[in-house]
């Protein structure tokens, strides 16, 4: 968008596309943290975790592996959708994601940095469900999670992450 277009939008009281990308009604909140130290172990719920930009979440099985999947995040509001589609109650630990956030659209955070506690994250992709969801959620569990599996992220800046921390897009309220 050219400067003239931006001035025209501003004069009409409209926001530019880049301004819209940083416009959120409220910050989100971190409502659940889970780690899994090994592939076949269940998730362990914790109150806090250290995020390290070089290695990932300390204590998680992905620590030290691919930088694109250092952290997995799930939208809390999607638990109810998955539950409705499977006909059962769904707890975060069943879905094997590290962080569950509420009150902010995770997909809207794509291409911008966001802070959770002392750490800064950047979304790297969509976290698709795996075939294990058929066993965990029952028949159709894989399809119930499609589009609701969350996102993966890398840690741009390490720091402590705690339950109740805000999920704040950098630049949104600055």
* Residue 14 resides in a domain: no
* Residue 15 resides in a domain: no
* Residue 19 resides in a domain: no
Buried b (16+ CB within 10 A) or exposed e, 26-43: ebbbbbbbbbbeeeeeeb
* Residue 96 resides in a domain: yes
* Residue 17 resides in a domain: no
* Residue 135 resides in a domain: yes
Residues of the chain with pLDDT below 50 are 1-4, 8
* Residue 146 resides in a domain: yes
Predicted pLDDT of residue 172: 64
Residue numbers of the domain that contains 66: 25-169
Domains in the chain, number: 1
pTM listed for this prediction:
0.88
Predicted pLDDT of residue 141: 95
* Residue 55 resides in a domain: yes
Predicted pLDDT of residue 24: 87
CATH number at residue 65: 2.40.33.20
Sheet of 159-162, strands arranged across: 56-57, 48-52, 159-162
Predicted pLDDT of residue 173: 53
Predicted pLDDT of residue 13: 66
């Amino acid at each position: 968008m050219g400067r003239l277009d931006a001035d025209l939008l501003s004069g009409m009281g409209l926001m530019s596309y880049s301004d819209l990308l940083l416009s959120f009604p409220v910050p989100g909140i971190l409502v659940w943290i889970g780690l899994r130290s090994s592939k076949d172990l269940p998730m362990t719920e914790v109150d806090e975790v250290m995020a390290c930009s070089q290695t990932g979440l300390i204590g998680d099985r992905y620590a030290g592996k691919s930088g694109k999947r250092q952290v997995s995040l799930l939208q809390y509001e999607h638990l109810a959708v998955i539950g409705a589609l499977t006909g059962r109650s769904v707890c975060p630990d069943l879905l094997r994601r590290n962080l569950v956030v509420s009150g902010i659209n995770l997909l809207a955070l794509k291409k911008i940095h966001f802070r959770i506690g002392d750490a800064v994250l950047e979304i790297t992709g969509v976290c698709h469900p795996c075939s294990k969801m058929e066993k965990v959620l029952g028949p159709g569990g894989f399809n119930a999670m499609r589009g609701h599996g969350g996102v993966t992220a890398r840690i741009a800046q390490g720091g402590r992450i705690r339950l109740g921390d805000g999920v704040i897009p950098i630049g949104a309220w600055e």
